[in-house]
């Protein structure tokens, strides 16, 4: 049975091994953001668990061998402290996808029942499953029964304010063998508007016999502390708070659980980090696509460093990687007016 305590963090029991999520600070799956290069940077600073971008189960299983090989590379299967998140609406394909990623080294499989995107919900996946808990449970049972690694679940408080059924679903999911539940403190119909309701997660904690992780608007140690106090959760999951600050999870772990504090890179160290991340993305995606995909990360890094807007624009419009690398030292230096404002 999984358990949590102040020393061990969250413990997931697989058939062959125990997975310790310690410290219990997790990187959220974010489509188009938490790719393998970014997860590696975050994990390098220290995180209990990083979660892959959501994978459509049927599409992955039915893909051509070359596409499946690419998917395996993108998921970072076999890497330590990594969970693979699957989405779908059909129990057969969910189970097949789970078997496939386990066979290729996945250590934890997370089931997505919280994505609010219209194209996902329109396909009756993601948070749409909260409107049909019986069907959701069949998917959970299929995945748990297909693999020997721990299975976890990520969902929201409910579909809308009239359907707040996260506690009910989490209780049933735990009974079906799910080892941990992450709750984003909003309904599907809220998308990302308003504030996450951490106090509402407390009902899930009370109803669920396995560890619950709080998610939503947790951007640093202070918000993480408040989320834990209001929810009673066993850990926190950070998403947007890590954009441009991949060390943020390690900072939370240090302040709340006594982990070693990260050395936040500044000056030349920051330039080295960002440059290495940029080159890793170029290598991973190829030059042409990598230049485009990396721009959002470069923008977040420059924003976090309080860089000059004009240099930010120049970096994000450059198409030559060599030019980007030349601009980074100045772009990542705080602009004079920004230093004064700070």
Collapsed DSSP state (helix, strand, coil) of residue 295: helix
Cα–Cα distance for residue pair 266/245, rounded to 1 Å = 11
Which residue in 70, 79, 78 sits closest to 40, CA to CA?
A: 79
The catalytic residues are: 115
User: Long-range CB contacts (< 8 A, 24+ apart) of 213-217?
Assistant: 213/10, 213/24, 213/26, 213/180, 213/181, 213/182, 213/183, 213/237, 214/182, 214/183, 214/185, 215/28, 215/154, 215/182, 215/183, 215/184, 215/185, 215/239, 216/184, 216/185, 216/186, 217/185
> CA 70, 72, 73 angle in degrees (round to 5)?
65
**What is the β-pairing status of strands 82-87 and 49-51?**
parallel
């Amino acid at each position: 049975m999984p358990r949590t305590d102040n020393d061990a963090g969250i413990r997931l029991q697989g058939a062959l091994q125990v997975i310790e999520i310690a410290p219990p600070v997790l990187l959220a799956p974010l489509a188009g953001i938490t790719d393998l290069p970014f997860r590696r940077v975050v994990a390098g600073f220290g995180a209990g668990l990083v979660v892959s971008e959501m994978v459509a189960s049927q599409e992955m299983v039915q893909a051509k061998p070359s596409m499946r090989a690419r998917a395996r590379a993108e998921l970072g299967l076999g890497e330590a402290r990594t969970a693979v998140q699957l989405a779908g609406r059909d129990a057969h394909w969910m189970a097949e996808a789970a078997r496939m990623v386990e066979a290729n080294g996945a250590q934890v499989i997370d089931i997505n029942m919280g994505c609010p995107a219209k194209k996902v919900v329109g396909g009756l996946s993601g948070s749409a499953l909260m409107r049909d808990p019986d069907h959701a449970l069949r998917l959970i049972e299929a995945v748990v029964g297909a693999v020997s690694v721990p299975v976890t679940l990520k969902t929201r408080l409910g579909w809308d304010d009239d359907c707040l059924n996260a506690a009910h679903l989490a209780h049933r999911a735990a009974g079906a063998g799910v080892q941990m539940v992450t709750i984003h403190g909003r309904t599907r119909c809220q998308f990302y508007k308003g504030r996450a309701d951490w106090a509402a997660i407390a009902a899930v904690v009370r109803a669920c016999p396995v560890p619950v992780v709080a998610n939503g608007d947790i951007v640093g140690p202070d918000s993480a502390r408040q989320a834990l106090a209001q929810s009673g959760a066993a850990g926190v999951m950070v998403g947007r708070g890590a954009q441009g600050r991949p060390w943020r999870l390690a900072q939370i772990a240090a302040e709340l659980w006594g982990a070693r504090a990260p050395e936040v890179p500044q000056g030349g160290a920051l330039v080295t980090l960002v440059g290495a991340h940029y080159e890793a993305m170029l290598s991973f995606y190829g030059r042409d696509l990598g230049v485009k995909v990396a721009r959002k990360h470069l923008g977040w890094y420059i924003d976090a460093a309080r860089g000059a807007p004009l240099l930010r624009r120049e970096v994000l419009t450059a198409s030559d990687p060599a030019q980007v690398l030349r601009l980074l030292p100045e772009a990542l230096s705080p602009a004079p007016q920004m230093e004064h404002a700070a």
